[in-house]
Amino acid sequence: MVRLFDFNKYYIFGAGRHAEEVFYLCLNSRGTSHKISGFIVESPMTDSFLNLPVYSLNDFLLSFISSKRKPKVLVAVGDVKVNQRVNEILRGNGIFSFSTIHKSVNLRSFAHIGVGVTICQGSVFTTKISIGSHSIINIGCTISHDVQIGAYVNICPGVNIAGGVTINDGVFIGTGAVILPKVIIGTNCVIGAGAVVTKNIEPNLIVVGNPAKFLKENSI
């Protein structure tokens, strides 16, 4: 049965641990904190999460199909491809995203920030940094000057990125990785946890180790 959802409200796509982290981040975000009204998943296994309702994506979309006023949805899923796919579905249905940025983050660090960006507690940014839409910067990262981060990038906890680095769209950087100055990481690469990236990485590769070396192609 299709339920009527409240428009003009904020929802999180996802009901896993990252979604839970984002829910609490929303309570401590910059500016107007976003009061979350519920969670959305593709196939709900439960009716509620964190004492809020869980809706199926299809029901959610159907409820707003003819409504001019749409709610906002932040996709809180670590998988880069799922993040991309769900955001495209939402956008195709006229539903847009919102950003949640921890209140400790200094917005003057940024030359540009896209929409639907998540920046968690304890990440530190210096200056002239760009972040593309729907990217995630998890807890405790350091990001230095003139770093360009594309769209749908997931930077896991404790990553250190030196000055002048370029990270293209759809890159996943595992926890604790280090990216050395001016390195360019190609689209859809995966950087393994703890890797030290010393040289440019061609698109669609998975690299691991110190110094980071080719492990395999990222075929997904």
Nearer to ligand COA, 33 or 175 (CB): 175
Nearer to ligand COA, 95 or 167 (CB): 167
The crossing angle, in degrees rounded to 10, of helices 57-64 and 80-92 is: 20
- Binding positions for ligand COA, 117-176, rule CB under 6 A: 156-157, 174-175
What span, in angstroms and rounded, lies between the C-alpha atoms of 88 and 174?
A: 24
- One of 75, 190, 201, 205 touching ligand COA (CB under 6 A): 190
Residue located via tokens 């796509």: 13
Instruction: Tell whether residue 208 is a contact of ligand COA (CB under 6 A).
Output: yes
Residues touching ligand COA, count (CB under 6 A): 12
Task: Report angle CA 138, 29, 130 to the nearest 5 degrees.
Answer: 55
The window from 52-60, 66-74, 87-95, 192-200 that contacts ligand COA (CB under 6 A) reads 192-200
Q: Name 97's Cβ contacts closer than 8 Å, sequence gap at least 6.
A: 72, 73, 74, 75, 87, 90, 115, 116, 133, 134
Q: Check if 145 is active-site.
A: yes
- One of 209, 213, 214, 217 touching ligand COA (CB under 6 A): 209
Q: Name 114's Cβ contacts closer than 8 Å, sequence gap at least 6.
A: 131, 132, 133, 134, 135, 151
Nearer to ligand COA, 21 or 146 (CB): 21
Residue 36 and residue 62 in contact, taking contact as beta carbons nearer than 8 Å: no
Site for ligand COA, rule CB under 6 A: 156-157, 174-175, 190, 192-194, 206, 208-209, 215
